[in-house]
Amino acid sequence: MTDTELATRHVAPPVVRSLDITAKAGLLILLAIALMFPDLGHMRGKAAGLRAITYPLLAFSVPALWYVFWRDRASFPWIADLLVTVTCFTDTLGNRMNMYDTIVWFDDWIHFMNTGLLTAGVILLTLHRTATLRATIERALAFGATVAIGWEIAEYYAFISTSSERRGAYTDTLGDLFLGTSGSVVAALVVHRLWRMGRLASAAPQLEPLAA
C-alpha cells in the first residue's frame, strides 16, 4: 500500500476534524475564564488550577504521541483525539453552565460517559480492529477501572476532603467507580461492534506501517 493510499484510507470526515479543533479551542477558552473569573466558571473550590494544567496536557496528548511515534507511518487519528478532547471539554463546560449543581444526574452521566469516551480512544489507539471481543473488554477494564480510581483519588484530595461533601463521599465514590467501569465496558462493546461492521478503519495507526 502506497503512502497516498494509506493516507486516503485514514482521512477522517471534515466534521470530526472541525469538532476536534473547536473542542480544543473551547476548552482553552473555558479554562482561561475559570482561572480569571472562578465564580463565572463555577469552579471556585473545584481545583480550577489543577484542571487548567491537566486538561490541556490530556487534550493535546494524542497529537504529541502521534508526532513522536506515528507521523511517518499513519495519518492523524482524529477520532481518537476527539474522544479524548471531548472528555475535558464537557467537564469544563458542565461547570461553566453550572450543571453539576443544578442537574442531579449530571455528575453520574459525566463519570459514565467520559470514562467511556477515554476508554474508546485508548482502544482505538492501542488495539487493532481484528482484536477479539475478550481482548477489547480486557483492555477497556484495565484502562477504565484505573482511570475511574485515579479520578476519584484526585477528586477527593483536590476539593472533596475540605468540603461538606466528604460526609457522603464514600457512597458517591462507589457509585462513580461503578459508573466509570460500566462506561468503559460499554465503550468496548460499541467499538468492537463498529469494527465488525467495517467502521473505524483508522484504529491503531501504529499497526498500519507504510510499505517500504
| 90: number of Cβ within 10 Å | 18
108-146 pLDDT per residue, tens: 999 999 999 999 999 999 898 889 999 999 999 999 999
CA pair distance 176, 23, nearest whole angstrom:
25
| Cβ atoms of residues 69 and 209 within 8 Å | no
| Cβ atoms of residues 139 and 146 within 8 Å | no
| Cβ atoms of residues 176 and 152 within 8 Å | yes
Per-residue confidence (pLDDT) for residue 61, from 0 to 100: 95
DSSP helix/strand/coil, 2: coil
180-191 pLDDT per residue, tens: 999 999 999 999
Written as nine digits, the cell of 119 is 476508554
CA pair distance 170, 27, nearest whole angstrom:
30
What one-letter code names the amino acid at 180? Answer: G
19-76 pLDDT per residue, tens: 999 999 999 999 998 888 888 777 776 777 888 899 999 999 999 999 998 888 778 8
CA pair distance 66, 79, nearest whole angstrom:
13
Q: List the one residue out of 41, 208, 63, 192 whose CA is nearest residue 130.
A: 192
